[in-house]
Structure 1
Amino acid sequence: MNRNEEYKALRDSLVETPSQLAYTVTKAVKRKKASRKRTRILGIPAGSLAVCFVAFMLLVNLFPPFARACGGVPVLRELAKAVTWSPSLSAAVEDEYVQSVGQEQRKNGITARVEYLIVDQKQLNVFYTLDTDQYGQLDADGAVTLPDGGDGYSSSSGSYGTPNGDLRQLTVDFVDRDMPEGLTLTLNVYQSAYDENGIAMESAEETMEDTYFKVQTHDPKILAVFTFDLTFDPWFTAQGETVAVGKTFQLDSQTLTLKQAEIYPTHLRLDLGYDPDNTAWLTGLDFYVENERGERFVPVTNGISATGEENSPSMVTYWMDTTYFSNSKELKLYITQARWLEKSREKIRLNLATEEHDPLPDGTELAGIQHLERGYLLTFREKQYREGWMYSLWNGHLDAGGTAESFSSSVSSYGYQEPDTGEYLDGSVSGFFYETVPLPDYHGTEVWLKPVFTRVTDFSAPAAISIR
């Protein structure tokens, strides 16, 4: 009997828990889980399968507790490999916080099988496989339908290109509502345009204008549609803890409030509030949380990192690796960098003919403007604010009439070749990179750019706020 089965047996034996003991029982079960937690290992960003496999092998070979955890539960070995990029999900698998499903369907020579769920109050991770003896590399677009037909969630998949037969993952995050008792998963399966090594099976030469201006469509031929009705064990969907903090502090002359921390088995959320008299919007943070033993928890490296609010550019909730399995009695937030959008610089004017412009975000220069037959290409030289970190600086633009548009694409690279001279510029040696954004079919002489942030502050002494 594994730990989940022990907990369920305990739950089922309490046919009717007296109301005054309900919280005590829940707390005791959670404490039992946390007290048996092994040392957590930081994962890696989701990338190539080869990188994930190397990371898993390192974990198994260098850290005996992790190897014993996987070796003692053979059925979870493949799942442990699939989540090495996420410290939170790795901790969940190590602690056997997994709901087995085992639903399988076969259509048109394709087999789809939902193997496992990792679920709590706010996040669902579905692990499934696709296999075939008729087609080549398969991919699938996944979607979910809630029992009430509502929304309040977002879904994503980083499993495109996963070899047939290997575990794939679909993540559903609930922002404005809690996890339902179940939902319907739909998988639209098609043959991938790429092989398992990520190489296009049919590649056509594209011009630079095609790369930036061609409307990208995703309309593959669907080979099979699978529908799975998933029901969640209520024990899992009840897991989570909200810690009321309510501490107001100053950060770079702006007033913020850490309202609460939401601690779930799959992740942790930090909810912030802002003083309306602030002169800048907080649009990004670098931070970590540390417990009383010096164990450090960092922002998520793949998936949702922050969510905002409807009426401002501010990010109000920051997502990070969970402390749920760590048995932490004390938690403290340390902020090392803040990225601000100054309210006086929410839009930046750029003249497309003369290249004159308002002051650009700190650390940014205009590298060049190309006027092509199908529109403009704007290239900027931008500062790396973390080593090896490229980002998208622009959140869209406004035309002369004030109509807001998002950029259809954004391409970032360390190198840039000047179109007039042919000179190749390498920004990596000096801590910069180049970002190019298109303005297709743009006929105005001026454009107003909307930056994500305009200044960045690094704190040599991190700002520290106690969570509990």
Structure 2
Amino acid sequence: MTDKHNAFENLESRLQARKNEYDAISVPETAASQAVQAGIRQASRKRKTRLRWLTSSISAAALVLLFTGCIRVSPAFASFVEQLPGMESVVSLIRQDKGLMMAIDQSLLQKVGITDEHDGGSVTVEGIITDESRMVIFYKIKGIKDVEKSGFDIDLLDENGKQLPVAFSYASPHSDSDSEKYTYEDIIDVTFNESLPPDHLTIAFKDRMAKTTNTWKVTFPVNRNLTKNMKKTVPVNQTITLDGQRITIEQAILYPTRLVLDIKYDPDNTKKIFDISDLRLVDEQGRAWRTDGSSIGGVGTSVFFESMYFSIPKKLTLQGSGLSALDKNKLIIGIDPASKTIQGGPQGVTLLEYKIKDNDAILHFSVENAENAISGLTFTNIKDSTGKEFDVKEAGWSPSVEHLTAEAWVTIDHGSAAKGKLNMEISSYPVQNRAPFSLDIPVNK
């Protein structure tokens, strides 16, 4: 048996051990619900230049729980792990993304290995995978006490120290049972909607609980030439009608790290479409290519799927189960703080509570027919009777599995200063309308 084969076997054993640890994690339903809500509340905070999603450590564990079946290691993947020593628990997450795995096989990992260390703690950026649409950043934190309880904030800065106009997600800190104390490893998943990756990127980690906020900054170069001119656009231009609403699949854009499906909604539709339910791409072998989110615009959406850049299917079918939509004349909800009543909006939305706390207005709603919903009830364009605008400070919702009624809440920043009635526009709505569909995508054009 060769040394290389032994190395592969040892790596498989380490990955299997990490998987077994996650399999043994007990996640109480209430704790999972609280963790998801915490992520949603953080996600709903308004950003002027960017949008940020935070997920919980339980969410990260749930991703690892998907890591089932026989663990086999290709030479490219083994080399990948060797370049990120001690991060087997993180790279096991990447194995869930077929597109990223193929990008790794094509040697698209950029090793960084740069550390900022002070005040007894350190942050290391181990490596990145990037193209024009997405960047996955592997990082490690050491020696920052209590960060698992308090958490941290992350900022992404360009060469001039300015915030990047990007959306990105990262998990709350969590440690592995056999890791060194105060050591945390994970990824930052970045989406480039309005810009390209910069030539140099700075990641700033801010400890939330420190009396004097400690910040660790890591600046590193980004080699954009590895994926230069690799973008492929496949025209589709097919229109479907769901629940009486016209939806056009405009194009599929292939990148090494993801596939982006651009969808446009007919401006003459009678409903505002918030989401198309259960979207998936299925190839000729019956394999489903997962979707990991979307970027929603005023007239449509861009849906992100696992990349099939290095393995183009012979046939590809887009499937879905329906959509979340609301009549355009029911988008505005009026709230009377004096009588604590609701006016307008969809029939199934009820105001349960209106109260003032620390100068903020807190509103609590119930939503009927929201069984198994995957999105919540959120608002935008909040104004009082004088036209003064207010921002959403926090928002969250509690989905229902067993019952048809879900609950949602929103905190309006300095809402106590509102004069008269509050008008709020619904920006997402959890009720799903069943309308299954299937559409062939011409990937071989």
Same fold (TM over 0.5): yes
> In structure 2, do the counterparts of structure 1 residues 466 and 84 end up closer, same or farther at CA, with 3 Å as the change threshold?
closer
The amino acid across from 1:305 in the alignment is S
The Cα of 1:464 is off from its aligned counterpart by 2.5
CA distance in 1, matches of 2:62, 2:328: 45
1:307 pairs, out of 296, 301, 314, with 296
CA distance in 2, matches of 1:295, 1:353: 55
Aligned position for 1:99: 110
List aligned pairs for 1:49-448, cutoff 5 A: 49=57, 52=60, 56=64, 59=67, 62-65=69-72, 74-75=81-82, 77-83=88-94, 88-89=99-100, 92-93=103-104, 97-132=108-143, 135-137=145-147, 141-147=153-159, 153-163=165-175, 164-180=182-198, 182-190=199-207, 193=209, 221-232=212-223, 234-286=225-277, 287-300=279-292, 304-308=293-297, 312=298, 314-361=299-346, 363-370=348-355, 374=359, 376-383=361-368, 385=370, 387=372, 389=374, 391-413=376-398, 429-439=402-412, 440-448=415-423
Aligned position for 1:23: none
Task: Name the SS for the 1:429 alignment partner.
Answer: coil
**What's the RMSD between the two structures over aligned residues?**
3.7
| Contact in 2 for aligned 1:143/1:155 (Cα 8 Å) | no
The Cα of 1:117 is off from its aligned counterpart by 0.6
Gaps (5+ residues) in structure 2? 1-22, 24-35, 37-53, 176-181
> In structure 2, do the counterparts of structure 1 residues 111 and 354 end up closer, same or farther at CA, with 3 Å as the change threshold?
closer
> In structure 2, do the counterparts of structure 1 residues 152 and 344 end up closer, same or farther at CA, with 3 Å as the change threshold?
farther
Task: Name the SS for the 2:112 alignment partner.
Answer: strand
Query: Structure 1 stretch 339-348 or stretch 137-146: which is displaced more?
Result: 137-146
Aligned position for 2:437: 462
| Contact in 1 for aligned 2:260/2:302 (Cα 8 Å) | yes
The Cα of 1:221 is off from its aligned counterpart by 2.4
The amino acid across from 2:296 in the alignment is T
CA distance in 2, matches of 1:144, 1:438: 27
CA distance in 2, matches of 1:94, 1:56: 21
CA distance in 2, matches of 1:221, 1:94: 44
CA distance in 1, matches of 2:360, 2:212: 32
> In structure 2, do the counterparts of structure 1 residues 329 and 189 end up closer, same or farther at CA, with 3 Å as the change threshold?
same
| Contact in 1 for aligned 2:385/2:419 (Cα 8 Å) | yes
> In structure 2, do the counterparts of structure 1 residues 446 and 105 end up closer, same or farther at CA, with 3 Å as the change threshold?
closer
CA deviation profile, 1:164-196 (whole Å, cap 9, x unmatched): 43323233321133334x222132443x53xxx
| Contact in 1 for aligned 2:331/2:345 (Cα 8 Å) | no
> In structure 2, do the counterparts of structure 1 residues 270 and 226 end up closer, same or farther at CA, with 3 Å as the change threshold?
same
Task: Name the SS for the 1:226 alignment partner.
Answer: strand
> Percent identity between the aligned chains?
18
Task: Name the SS for the 2:285 alignment partner.
Answer: coil
CA distance in 1, matches of 2:306, 2:96: 11
CA distance in 2, matches of 1:357, 1:53: 40
The Cα of 1:441 is off from its aligned counterpart by 0.7
**Taking structure 2 as the reference length, what is the TM-score of the superposition?**
0.71
| Contact in 2 for aligned 1:395/1:407 (Cα 8 Å) | yes
CA deviation profile, 1:354-377 (whole Å, cap 9, x unmatched): 455444325323334446784654
The amino acid across from 1:239 in the alignment is M
| Contact in 2 for aligned 1:384/1:390 (Cα 8 Å) | no
> When the two structures are aligned, how many residues end up with a matched partner?
377
The amino acid across from 1:176 in the alignment is E
The Cα of 1:161 is off from its aligned counterpart by 1.9
Task: Name the SS for the 2:139 alignment partner.
Answer: strand
> Which of the two has higher C-alpha Rg?
1
